[in-house]
Structure 1
Amino acid sequence: MNNEDVVLDANETSAPALKEIFNRERLQHIADQTKAVHPPLDTAAFMTLATADLESLGIMQRMRQVATSLHATLPGDYPANIAILKALAPRINHGFASISLAEYVALYGLDHFDLSMDALKYVTRFGSAEFAIRPFILANMPRALALMEEWSRDENEHVRRLACEGSRPRLPWSFQLKALIDDPEPVRTILDNLKTDEALYVRKSVANHLNDITKSNPDWVLRLIETWPKDNKHTVWIVRQALRTLIKKGHADALAHLGAHEKADIRLDEFRVSPESVALGNPVRISAAFTSTAAKPQKLVVDYTVHYVKKSGGASPKVFKWKEIDLQPGERVALSISRAIRDFTTRKHYAGKHGIVLVINGETVAETAFELLT
C-alpha cells in the first residue's frame, strides 16, 4: 500500500478494527472532500448510501460501497467522473481509503480501457490500484501488460510497483491470474526491469511476485534469476526474499543460490524447547547449539518447523526462518528464539504434543517437542 501501510488479514470478519478505516468519520471526510472538488455533490445522499448496513460489512465490502455510492451521486458520465476522482485522490487522508477510487475504475471503466488504465496509473500514487487493475488484465492481457511494462520504467516508484504487484499471479485478497500461473513468461520483462530497483517498496513486490511464481514454476524463477547480476545489493535482496518458500522446503537449487547447497558438517550440541509444557498464551523458547566439524567454511541456512496440533488430532507443519550463518571451521554457534503460543486470526491452537524440528540446509538435524495444555 502507499502512504499508510496497512497489515491486512484475508479473513475480514476476524479483524474488525481494519474495517474501521471506513468508519463514519472517514466516509464523511470522503463526502466533504468530494464536494470540495465537485460542489454539486449531494453529501447527504452519499452518506446514506455509503453507510448502509455499515456494521455488517467487512473492509473490502465497505471500500466497494464507497465506489458504488460515488457512482450513484456523481452526475457526470464516466470520463467526467474520472476527472472528479483524479482531483479527489490527493485529498483523501488515508492510503487504503483511496483504494475506493481505483475500485470505481474497476467497476465502471472496462469499456474505457485507455482512460481507465491512465486513471489507475494516477490514483495508485495515493493508495494502490493493485486490485483494480486485475479485471483489465483479464479483459485484455497483452494490452494491459504492454502498458504495465512501460510503467515498470516509470520515474514514480508507486507506478513501478503497480506494474509488478498488479500482475502477481496469486495476489492476496484478489482472484488468481491463472494464465500467468500456468505461464509467467509475459511478465518477464516487467520483473527484469525492476530487478535492481532503488525503492524497497518496489523490491518487496518483485520478491513477492517471484515467490508466487515459485509455487507453480520454480524452475522458471531459478532460470530467470540466474541471468541477474550477482553483485547488485538490491538484486541479491530480491533473490533472497523470492526464494523463501523454496528454501523452507529444502529445494536444493534454491539453497545453492545462497551458497548453502551442501549438507551441514556439524556436531549438534543442543536442541531443546522450554518449558516442556505450556499453557496457551505463553511463549516457548527454542534453543540450538552446534559446532562445525568441517575443514572449510560453511554456509548454513537454519530453519525450524513447528508441527501444530489440529482439531482432528493430526499435525500441520509450519516452517519458520531462523538464521543464515557463515560458519568457520571449529566454530560453535548458539541460537535461541521465543515463539508465541497464542491464537491468531489465522491459527487456532489445540492441546497436545507439538513437535519442533531443526532444519539446516534443507535437512532435518534434530527433533524435540512441547506439550500445549488445555
Structure 2
Amino acid sequence: MGAPLRLHCTCYKKTITMPDTENTALKEIFNERRFRDMALDVKAVYPPFDTRRFLKISLAGLDELTLMQRLRRMTQALHATLPADYRQALEILRALAPRMGNGFATLVLPDYVGQYGQDDFDISMDALKFFTAFGTSEFAVREFLRKDLKRALVIMTTWSRDDSDAVRRLASEGSRPRLPWSFRLDAILADPSLAAPILENLRSDTSLYVRKSVANHLNDVTKSHPDWVLDRLATWPIENAHTAWIAKRALRSLIKAGNGRALAVIGAGGMPDVKLSKFAVTPRQVALGERVTLSFDLASKCPESQRLVIDYRMHYVKKSGVTAAKVFKLKELTLDGGQKVAIERTQNIRDFTTRVHYAGRHDVEILVNGVCLAKGYFDLSC
C-alpha cells in the first residue's frame, strides 16, 4: 500500500451551476475552469498533488473533445497524477467527493473506479455505492456488470434494500439494459429475469427518484420482451399507489403503440365506444416556427363510464421524403355515459437538436385507446 496518506478532509459542498444548454455547448461543463477547480480541490485534500502535470495532460487539445471525451480526459489525468496504488488513489477521491457538490462533473469519481478498479471488484463496488450520493454511479457500475454480471448483480440486489434512495436507484438504473449514454447490457436484454430480484425489491418503493428508475428499466425491457413485463406486472400489487405509478410509466411505450394488455393494466382496455367528430387541423398551411392546432369533440356512445387514453400520431417528413411516425400524449380521462368533451392541443413546429423538419404533407391521427379514430394533415413549408 505504500506510506500512509495525509488527507485534508474539510468537507463543504460547492454549488455547481449547470450550463444553459441552448446557449452553451454541453461540453463546456468540462471547460478549462472546471479542470483548474478540480486541480485545486485535489490539492486541498492531497497536498502532494502535481497540479501542473494534471493541467498539462487535461488541457492538451481540449477544444476538440466532446463532453464525454472531456470527462474521460479528466479521469485519465487523475490516474496519471494520483498515487499508482489504486486503493490510495481511491482514498483521495473519497475525500474529494464532498467538495465537488452534486453536478455533472462528479461523474469523474465513479468513472475513475470503472476504468481502473475492476481488478479490485468488491472495494470498487463499495466505492461506487459511496460516490452515487454525490451524482450517480450508474454508468461506471456497468463496467462491473460487463466484467462479472452474476457477481455484480448479487451486490446490486443488496443495494436495492439500502436505506438510501440514491443507492436503491443505482441498483435499478445501473442494471437497465438500454441505459442512455451507455453501452447495452446484452445478457439482461436477452434475459430480463437476471435483474428481476432488484425490480421486485423496488416495486412499491416510496421514493419517486427510485420509482422513475424502475419504470424506465421496465420500459427498456418492453422493447424486446413486452410479454415478460406484462406478465411480471400481473403479479404485482397494482392496488398500491406506488406500484400503479411504476406500472403506468413502465408501459408508456406499449400504451402509445395501442397494446391491449398494457391499456388494460391502466383500465383503458377494449375498443372505445365513442364518437369522434369535428376533427380539424389548423391552419392547413404552416410555416416553420408557427403553430398547428388539433381540435375535436369526443362523445360517449354507451351508458357506462370509460377510461380513455387519447394520443395523436404525427407523421414527420424526413430528408429522404419518407415519413416517420411519432406518438404524443394528449389526454387521459374517464368519460361518463353520454358525456361529451371538447379537446384541443397546439404544437409548435420548430426545429430541435433532436428533430429537424422538412417541407411537405404531415399526416396527423387521433388515437383513442390505441385505435385510430380520425385523420387529418397540414402542409409544412420550410
Common topology (TM > 0.5) = yes
Counterpart for residue 301 of structure 2? 293
Counterpart for residue 52 of structure 2? 44
Counterpart for residue 199 of structure 1? 207
Map residues 1-374 of structure 1 onto 2, 5 A cutoff.
17-374=25-382
Please give the per-residue CA displacement for 1:70-115, whole angstroms capped at 9, x wherever unaligned: 0011124100000100111111134210001111111111111011
- Where has structure 1 moved over 4 Å in runs of 4 or more? 3-9
Distance 1:145 1:30 in 2: 32
Distance 2:272 2:18 in 1: 39
TM-score by length of 1: 0.95
Q: Tell me how far 1:7 sits from its aligned partner.
A: 11
Partners of 2:18 and 2:29 within 8 A in 1: no
Which residue identity is paired with 2:288? L
Taking a change above 3 Å as real, the CA distance of residues 246 and 366 of structure 1, as seen in their structure-2 partners, is same
Distance 2:38 2:70 in 1: 13
Which residue identity is paired with 1:20? E
Which residue identity is paired with 2:219? N
Partners of 2:350 and 2:357 within 8 A in 1: yes
Partners of 1:273 and 1:284 within 8 A in 2: yes
Q: Tell me how far 1:46 sits from its aligned partner.
A: 1.1
Please give the per-residue CA displacement for 1:41-92, whole angstroms capped at 9, x wherever unaligned: 1112211212221111111111111100000111241000001001111111
Which residue identity is paired with 2:226? P
Q: RCO (CA 8 Å, sep 6+): is it higher in 1 or 2?
A: 1
Which residue identity is paired with 2:315? H
Distance 1:371 1:329 in 2: 37
Partners of 2:316 and 2:325 within 8 A in 1: yes
Between stretches 314-323 and 335-344, larger displacement belongs to: 335-344
Q: Tell me how far 1:8 sits from its aligned partner.
A: 12
Between stretches 226-235 and 346-355, larger displacement belongs to: 226-235
Local SS of the residue matching 1:317 = strand
Q: Tell me how far 1:22 sits from its aligned partner.
A: 0.9
Long gaps (5+) in structure 2: 1-14
Distance 2:272 2:57 in 1: 62
TM-score by length of 2: 0.93
Partners of 2:19 and 2:28 within 8 A in 1: no
Q: Tell me how far 1:308 sits from its aligned partner.
A: 0.1
Taking a change above 3 Å as real, the CA distance of residues 254 and 353 of structure 1, as seen in their structure-2 partners, is same
Between stretches 34-43 and 336-345, larger displacement belongs to: 336-345
Local SS of the residue matching 1:289 = strand
Local SS of the residue matching 2:346 = strand
Distance 1:8 1:169 in 2: 30
Distance 1:4 1:135 in 2: 27
Which residue identity is paired with 2:36? Q
Q: Root-mean-square deviation (CA), in Å? A: 1.8
Partners of 1:29 and 1:92 within 8 A in 2: no
Q: Percent identity?
A: 51
Which residue identity is paired with 2:182? S
Local SS of the residue matching 1:125 = helix
Local SS of the residue matching 2:25 = helix
In the alignment of these two chains, the number of paired residues is: 368
Local SS of the residue matching 1:124 = helix
Distance 1:4 1:51 in 2: 20
Between stretches 330-339 and 97-106, larger displacement belongs to: 330-339
Q: Tell me how far 1:364 sits from its aligned partner.
A: 0.5
Distance 1:16 1:193 in 2: 40
Please give the per-residue CA displacement for 1:241-282, whole angstroms capped at 9, x wherever unaligned: 000000111111001101111111112122212111111112
Distance 1:43 1:5 in 2: 23
Long gaps (5+) in structure 1: none
Partners of 2:16 and 2:101 within 8 A in 1: no
Q: Tell me how far 1:17 sits from its aligned partner.
A: 2.0
